[in-house]
């Protein structure tokens, strides 16, 4: 049994500081952490390993500092970690990212067939939830997103059954292995690393792969391999200066004025239409 987890290191939102003058994010000195959902993905892979045996490999595409999150996964019990990092990989959009991760998994699969790939539902920085489906599509893996629980896995029959938590329902889905599972926070409680785990993680060698290691050309990856680019960054449309509706404590007058304004904009109807 071979489980692969794709993780991402993201800025720690608690550490985000906004420059009070310009309103922009201050990126220097910001701590990075493993994306929260990925922590649950690592935990789920480890639980399957606890149950069925096998190995857990954790991979990430990112800058050198991303090694830290890989070590965190190792400290929890992952067997090996691989950092995919080199300058050419920078500027990748989700399509280029899923290419690199899919090819890395293909390479891992050649040594030891991969049964399940785990990813977190989405990342806290870009929040798009696209990379998982991208990887599944490229590898031809069964795609199972928004998974809140794995009911059962039958490696002999090559089947997995999961529960997906959607807007207003829970779907029980049976899928064929190999599969990609995008997990929700609800799926588990990540374990705390043991002391030996922590020490092992600090000492372990983490190989660094480049795009060449996984057989990709420079044009395939990073900015060059991304169909989308950020064309511009601008300040969000500023609200026109607020209209002061009524001073003092005359609540009724203020209420009247406000309801009038909102009705004029059609906002109330919009809201009540449900």
Nearer to another protein, 53 or 195 (CB): 195
Of the listed pieces 44-52, 54-62, 79-87, 168-176, which binds another protein according to CB under 8 A? 168-176
Angstrom distance (rounded) from CA 118 to CA 190: 14
Nearer to another protein, 213 or 246 (CB): 246
- Binding residues among 6-45 for another protein as defined by CB under 8 A: 12-14, 16, 18, 20, 23-25, 29, 31-33
What are the angstrom distances between the C-alpha of 139 and each of 107, 113, 179, 197? 11, 12, 9, 32
- Binding residues among 96-135 for another protein as defined by CB under 8 A: 98-99, 103, 106, 109, 127-134
Please, what is the minimum distance in Å from the beta carbon of residue 249 to another protein?
5
Q: Using the rule CB under 8 A, is 166 a contact of another protein? A: yes
Angstrom distance (rounded) from CA 16 to CA 19: 10
Half-sphere exposure of 161 (CA within 13 A, CB side): 5
- Binding residues among 47-86 for another protein as defined by CB under 8 A: 67-68, 71-72, 75
- Measure CA of the first residue to CA of the last residue in the chain; give whole Å: 48
- Binding residues among 188-207 for another protein as defined by CB under 8 A: 192-203
Q: Using the rule CB under 8 A, is 256 a contact of another protein? A: yes
Please, what is the minimum distance in Å from the beta carbon of residue 10 to another protein?
11
Count the site residues for another protein by CB under 8 A: 117
Q: Using the rule CB under 8 A, is 140 a contact of another protein? A: yes
Angstrom distance (rounded) from CA 221 to CA 218: 6
Given a contact cutoff of 8 angstroms between Cβ atoms, the answer to whether 105 and 59 are in contact is yes
Burial of residue 25 (number of CB atoms within 10 Å: 0-12, 13-18, 19+): exposed
Nearer to another protein, 45 or 147 (CB): 147
């Amino acid at each position: 049994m071979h489980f692969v987890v794709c993780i991402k290191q993201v800025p720690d939102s608690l550490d985000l500081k906004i420059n009070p003058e310009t309103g922009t994010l201050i990126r220097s000195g910001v701590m990075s952490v493993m994306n929260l959902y990925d922590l649950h993905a690592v935990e789920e892979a480890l639980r399957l390993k606890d149950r069925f045996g096998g190995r857990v490999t954790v991979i990430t595409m990112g800058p050198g500092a991303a090694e830290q999150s890989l070590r965190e996964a190792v400290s929890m019990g992952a067997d090996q970690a691989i950092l995919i990092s080199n300058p050419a990989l920078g500027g990748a959009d989700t399509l280029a990212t899923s290419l690199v991760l899919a090819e890395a998994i293909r390479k891992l699969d050649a040594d030891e067939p991969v049964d399940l790939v785990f990813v977190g539902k989405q990342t806290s920085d870009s929040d798009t939830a696209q990379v998982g489906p991208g990887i599944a599509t490229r590898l031809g893996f069964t795609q199972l997103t928004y998974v809140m629980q794995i009911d059962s896995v039958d490696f002999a029959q090559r089947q997995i059954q999961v529960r997906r938590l959607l807007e207003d329902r829970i779907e029980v889905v049976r899928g064929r292995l190999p599969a990609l599972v995008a997990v929700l926070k609800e799926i588990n409680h990540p374990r705390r690393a043991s002391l030996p785990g922590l020490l092992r993680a600090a000492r372990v060698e983490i190989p660094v792969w480049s795009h060449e290691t996984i057989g990709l050309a420079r044009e395939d990856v990073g900015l060059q391999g991304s169909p989308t680019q950020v064309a511009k960054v601008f300040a969000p449309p500023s609200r026109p200066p607020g209209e002061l509706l009524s001073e003092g404590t005359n609540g009724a007058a203020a209420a009247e004025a406000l309801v009038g304004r909102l009705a004029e904009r059609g906002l109330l109807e919009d809201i009540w239409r449900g």
